[in-house]
A and B are shown apart, each in its own frame.
Chain A
Amino acid sequence: MNPLQGYLLLSALLFSIGLAGALLRRNAILVLIGIELMLNAANLNFIAFWRYGPVPAALTGIMFTIFSIAVAAAEAAVGLAIILAAYRHSRTTDLDRMDSLKG
């Protein structure tokens, strides 16, 4: 098992933890955090590939991660704002109670 595989496995594990959180938690804030975690796992992948990849001088992995972090920050801000608005509307952050999209 080489270092790259180690990082990839770690990132897969973090991704699955984030997914599990997003799937299992009922608190909308924690679901959002789970999604952030999945994003972080993906970022870790990028950095690992950059580090062990054939052309590290191109800096593409780093750039991708930087932009990804920026986008994730924007997503977190908007997502939390939406949760606040939804909370103000229904007085709960429980996702099981938020089913007004039901078909």
Chain B
Amino acid sequence: MTASFTILAAITVAGMAAAMGLRNAVHCVLALTVGFAGIAALYLQLGAQFVGFTQVLVYVGAVAILAVFAIMMTQSRPSATPAPRAPLWAAGGAVAAAVFAVLAWAIHSNALSVQALPPQPEAAPSATVQQIGDALMHRFVLPLEIVGLLLTAALIGAVVIAMGRREEMK
């Protein structure tokens, strides 16, 4: 429980809470990038540099930008009348709070917290790019291929779905 962890955790939680709570959607996405960056920093602190940079590339660089584009394309015109709140809307907040309470209780009361952790080096275990590449090319080559296929399919699918029908394009 170091100071750096506390600071990074505070930044991340604040960014995410803002992303979920702000009224303006564009602001939300901006706060989201802060949150994603905070998570990336946490990865770095945990010694997973590769994952951290991947996080920055994919989430901060791609998903957030995609979200910005989507918001810009859908909110060119503000909706005329806000729809009435659905019944039981407030129950959602209660469910989320209960989930957190239950998870926290679980973490707190679990055997894991009672038992001593296995002895571990103070320094992070090494996970160099070379090791990760080796693992990807040998042990995890089949999942890698499948994920490649999945990404290709998702790319084509996203283009097809977003393109719409031909007459609308004219």
Which residues of A are interface residues toward B (Cβ below 8 A)?
1-10, 12-21, 23-27, 29-30, 32-34, 36-37, 40, 43-44, 47-48, 50-54, 56-57, 59, 61-63, 65-67, 69-78, 80-85, 87-88, 92-94, 96-97
The residue in chain A whose Cβ has the minimal distance to the Cβ of B97 is A16
- Do the beta carbons of A4 and B151 come within 8 Å of each other? no
Asked if B47 contacts A51 (CB within 8 A), the reply is yes
Q: Which residues of B contact A (CB under 8 A)?
A: 1-2, 5, 9, 12-13, 16-17, 19-21, 25, 28-29, 32, 35-36, 39, 42-43, 46-48, 50-51, 54-55, 58-59, 62-63, 66-67, 69-71, 73-75, 79, 82-86, 89, 92-93, 95-97, 99-100, 103-104, 107-108, 112-113, 117-118, 120, 124-125, 127, 131-132, 135-136, 140, 143, 147, 150-151, 153-155, 157-159, 161-162, 164, 168
If A9-B107, A16-B103, A29-B70 touch, whether A74 touches B95 (CB-CB below 8 Å) is no
Q: Which residues from chain A contact B127 at a C-beta distance below 8 Å?
A: 56, 59, 62
Sample of 8 more A-B contacts, CB < 8 Å, known A7-B5, A56-B127: A10-B12, A20-B92, A30-B28, A33-B32, A47-B46, A62-B48, A67-B140, A84-B73
Q: Is the interface of B mostly helix, strand, loop or mixed?
A: helix
Task: Please determine whether A3 and B1 come into contact, CB atoms closer than 8 angstroms.
Answer: yes
Q: Are B83 and A26 in contact (CB under 8 A)?
A: yes
Question: Which 9 residue pairs are nearest across A and B when measured between Cβ atoms?
Answer: A23-B92, A21-B20, A56-B125, A74-B154, A16-B100, A20-B96, A12-B103, A81-B158, A81-B162
Interface of A is mostly: helix
Q: Inside 8 A of B136's CB, which chain A residues have their CB?
A: 63, 66
Q: From residue A66, how far is it (CB to closest CB) to chain B in Å?
A: 6
A29 touches B154 (CB 8 A): no
CA distance A36 to B33 in the complex (A): 12
Contact B150 A71 (CB under 8 A): yes
